[in-house]
Structure 1
Amino acid sequence: MHVLILGGTAEARRLAGLLSGLPGVRTTSSLAGRVAAPRMPPGEVRVGGFGGAEGMAVWLREQRVDALIDATHPFAGTISFHAARAAADTHVPLLALRRPGWVAGPGDDWHPVGSLEEAATALPALGNRIFLTTGRMGLAAFAGLTEQWFLVRSVDPPEAPCPPRMEVLLARGPFTPEGERELIARHRVDVLVTKDSGGEATAPKLAAARAAGVPVVVVRRPPVPAGVHVVTTPDEAAAWVRAAA
């Protein structure tokens, strides 16, 4: 049984590890190639795009894929819709693995928005020293904000266009609550911007913002394509594969 995992997340790597020990199961993890030095999962790995839904369908047929698991980042929306279309065209079973989103708790001052552009529009009314943790992609949405100062944290250096007043912090999670609190205090951050990625690796920034009384602009995640079955843990995804094998 050949399983293709659309990966790049910690959950995808964990799933690849779970499946690598199953007899009769071959796994291939597909990475987009947007990170210069990705953490490699167990099993076979391919790097790069497919050429849209049509290209993915061709790959599924040529490689005789029996099951497709979309374990990409919750905000990698385009690839998810390509996967849904390719799976439908090739009649390959499709499962989506999505970590649960974050939920605001007592003391949180969250401002949900639908896009990075909406986040940029909301910032002038909230503060002037912005901790931007949405990654290196999409910084163009904030490039027109000339009065605000940005601390931009990403794994790889961002590319223009970027905010004119910006400091870049290259770092990869997981992060600690103590480190996030120190970072917010040292840079006098008064607004945090994040995507609702979910998971524990980058969640400490939310607790640090709560403790510091800093408002958080949260970009809502895009929906999973209609009709796709969703699980929230690698163990559930592995059980789905075992049931189909």
Structure 2
Amino acid sequence: MKSPSTGEDPARERAVLERLIGRVDGFILTSSRLSNAEVTALSDRAGIVMLNRHVEGISCSLVDQDQGSRHIITHLAALGHTRVAYASGPSSSWVRHQRWNALSGYAQASGLAIHQLGPFRPSLEDGPAAAEEVLRTDATAVVAHNDLLAIGIIQHVQGNGLAVPADLSVVGYDDMFVSRFCTPSLTTLGGQYEAAAHHGVEMLVEGRRNQVVVLPSSLAIRESTGPAPGDRHCTAPHRRS
């Protein structure tokens, strides 16, 4: 039985799980918004495997965020960027904090200034709000929580008379299918997500407990990143009112 999406809402997620307990043998939770304590308590009542999140004592299958985030910082630094913004995802997102910790740590080690903005929903609809916050900073590059948010940022920036990447470089996470076909195509961190899901199913079916599988990520460099402008606030065209 396939569980419906709970739309980033922990209350809906909790309700769906309660309704299904006893009707299924176990659950694979993808980017769950439940607290660690709730997940642990749930594991006493049903088999649980986590995807895209780690909870102590619960089997999980993850795509690397640490080294992948290092590749993002290295890429931006090589392009001359010294001021970066991170448009973060929901505050309840485990991976949001993993990405920020990695980005900020590697930025500091590389001599880059980085600021966390948000939180934002990981959606096109929150792109304009995220873009406006970025444009109020002196950042020449922004790393978005996921590809949809990144594309929403690009659309809003371009709609206000600025160019990507000439005025602002944009990076996403997840390498969704659409990231190849937006304009400009999106530089984004992808990884072996299908393999992670396969491992998750195996762990649940075989009843493995407290096993952690971490799969590699890879940075797809496309058209949305380029050399840092000298001073975006001085050289960029006037934004549309």
Measured against the shorter chain, the TM-score band is 0.3 to 0.5
The TM-score normalised by the length of structure 1 is 0.43
Higher helix fraction: Structure 1 or Structure 2?
Answer: 2
